[in-house]
Amino acid sequence: MEFNLENLVRDNIKKMTAYSSARHEFKGNANIYLDANENAFGSPLPVNYHRYPDPLQWELKEKLSSIKGVPAENIFLGNGSDEAIDLLFRIFCTPGRDNVLIFPPTYGMYEVCAEMNDIAIKKIPLLENFQIDLEKIETAIDINTKLIFVCSPNNPTGNSINRNDIEILLNNFDGLVIIDEAYINFAKQKTFIQELTEYPNLVILQTLSKAWGLAGLRLGMAFAGKPIIDYFNKVKYPYNINTATQQLAIEALNNISSINNWTKTTAEQKNWLIEEINKLEFSIIIYPSDANFILVKMNDARMIYEYLSQKGIIVRDRSKVILCDDCLRITIGTPEENKKLVSSLNDYTK
Question: Which among 194, 168, 191 is positioned nearest to 181, based on CA atoms?
Answer: 191
- Asked if the model's pLDDT at residue 244 lies above 60, the reply is yes
Pairwise CA distance, residues 41 & 189, whole Å:
51
- Report the chain's mean pLDDT, rounded to a whole number: 96
Q: pLDDT (tens digit, 9 = 90+) per residue, 183-234?
A: 999 999 999 999 999 999 999 999 999 999 999 999 999 999 999 999 999 9
What local confidence, expressed as pLDDT, does residue 170 receive? 98
Would you state the pLDDT for residue 24?
80
User: In degrees to the nearest 10, what's the CA dihedral of 230, 89, 236, 9?
Assistant: 30
Let me know: does 101 contact 144? Beta carbons within 8 Å. no
- What pLDDT, on a 0 to 100 scale, did the predictor assign at position 23? 78
Range 257-348 classified under CATH 3.40.190.10: no
* DSSP string over 72-137: GGGEEEEESHHHHHHHHHHHH--TTT-EEEE-SSS-THHHHHHHHTT-EEEE-PPPTTS---HHHH
d(CA 40, CA 32): 9
Per-residue confidence (pLDDT) for residue 349, from 0 to 100:
73
List the chain domain ranges: 5-254, 257-348
Contact call for residues 220 and 205 (beta carbons, < 8 A)? yes
User: Average pLDDT for residues 315-339, to the nearest whole number?
Assistant: 97
Per-residue pLDDT tens digits for 11-37 = 999 999 999 888 787 777 888 999 999
Q: How confident is the model at residue 350 (pLDDT cuts 50, 70, 90)?
A: low
CA distances to 24, 110, 121, 183, 257 from 102, in Å: 36, 7, 7, 18, 35
**Could you check whether 5-254 and 257-348 share the same CATH topology?**
no
What per-residue confidence (pLDDT) applies to 30? 87
What residues contact residue 320 under an 8 Å CB cut-off, 6+ apart?
Answer: none
Residue among 138, 147, 209, 202 nearest 175 (CA)? 147
Alpha helices in the chain (DSSP H): 11-15, 22-25, 58-68, 81-92, 109-116, 134-140, 163-172, 226-235, 243-253, 256-278, 301-310, 335-348
CA–CA distance, 199 with 49 (Å, rounded to integer)? 40
Condensed to tens digits (0 to 9), the pLDDT of residues 104-149 reads 999 999 999 999 999 999 999 999 999 999 999 999 999 999 999 9
Domain boundaries 5-254, corresponding CATH code: 3.40.640.10
Q: Is the pLDDT of residue 1 over 70?
A: no
Region 245-252: mean pLDDT is 97
pLDDT at 91 > cutoff 90: yes
55-80 pLDDT tens trace: 999 999 999 999 999 999 999 999 99
Instruction: Quickly state the pLDDT bin for 2 (edges 50, 70, 90).
Output: confident
